[in-house]
Each structure stands twice: as C-alpha cells, then as structure tokens.
Amino acid sequence: MNVQNGACSCGRVKYQLTSAPMFVHCCHCNDCQRQTGSAFVLNALIESDRVLILQGETRSFPQPTDSGRPHVIHRCPDCGTALWSNYGGREELRFVRVGTLNDPRALPPDVHIYTRSKQPWFKLPTDCVGATTGAPAQVFEAYYDSAKLWPEESLARRRALFA
C-alpha cells in the first residue's frame, strides 16, 4: 500500500497513514451504529506512531461501552468528524475511520464483526477481498481470534507494539 492521506470533512485536521494497517474491521455492533449514525463502521487498525498528523489536532471524546473498558473517539474540534478511536486505554493503537481517507476504496474490510447485531436489510458481500489478507472477508457473529486470521507480518507488528 502506498501512503494514504485523510482528513475531516471541513479540512481542519489532516493526517497520513505512513504504512499499511495491520488489519481492517467492518464492525456492526450496536455501539458503532450509535456512534456513527450508520449501519456499521470501517476501522483500519494501525500503530499510533504510523498516523502522522499533518495539520490541526483532534479533540477526544470518551464513550461508554458495554464492556466498561475505555473507548475514546478523536474528532475534529470544528466539524466533529470522527477520525479514529482508541480502545481499552491502549493509546499505541488507533482504529482509523476508513471513510476519512482520501481513497477509502484502498482499504476494504478483512472481517465483518458483531454481525449478530447487523441491520437485517444489510446483505454481507461475498466478493469483498480484504486489504491485508487478500482473501475474502470473513464474517463473525461476535469477535474472532486474531492469531488465526491476521497475516504474520501484522501479528509481528502487534507483538512488537504490545511487548
């Protein structure tokens, strides 16, 4: 993957992904639906130090979660666009909103998760090839075992991140 640039809708905050993400989720959980006002959210999981802020700064908004673990959404302070999230108090990993990239088509999901709460009218695609795996996106009613699905390079990056 080439370097990817992204921005909020008003252009105050601009950022760059300096490498490919480790994995891409399409999450259909109720929290993501509520927080985005949509049927799902696409998140590219990437190390925080590989997200370079080119312009502006974000404002953080803590969110309630079913698990009780921290979830902080980073938004543009002017237009409110959600750019990324940090989950579980792990500031070293960002879940970048794929839709804020200049070319969101570059990062199709590797997995669809929490499909037990997906909208019934949404039909899961059968021909979507994941951004990091190059394989058809897998579908899970809840979460999945990353050790079984993530490419080895992504697993190595994750081990280094949380060592």
Confidence of residue 120 (pLDDT cuts 50, 70, 90): very high
Is the entire prediction scored with pTM above 0.75? Answer: yes
Instruction: Give the closest residue to 45 by CA, choosing from 119, 113, 96.
Output: 96
CA distance 48 to 28: 23
- In the block, tokens 């804020």 appear at 100
pLDDT tens-digit readout, 36-52: 999 999 999 999 999 99
Whether the Cβ atoms of residue 107 and residue 80 lie closer than 8 Å to each other = no
At residue 149, the pLDDT reads: 94
Whether the Cβ atoms of residue 124 and residue 116 lie closer than 8 Å to each other = no
Token pair recorded at residue 1: 């993957």
The domains located in the chain, with CATH, are 4-161 (3.90.1590.10)
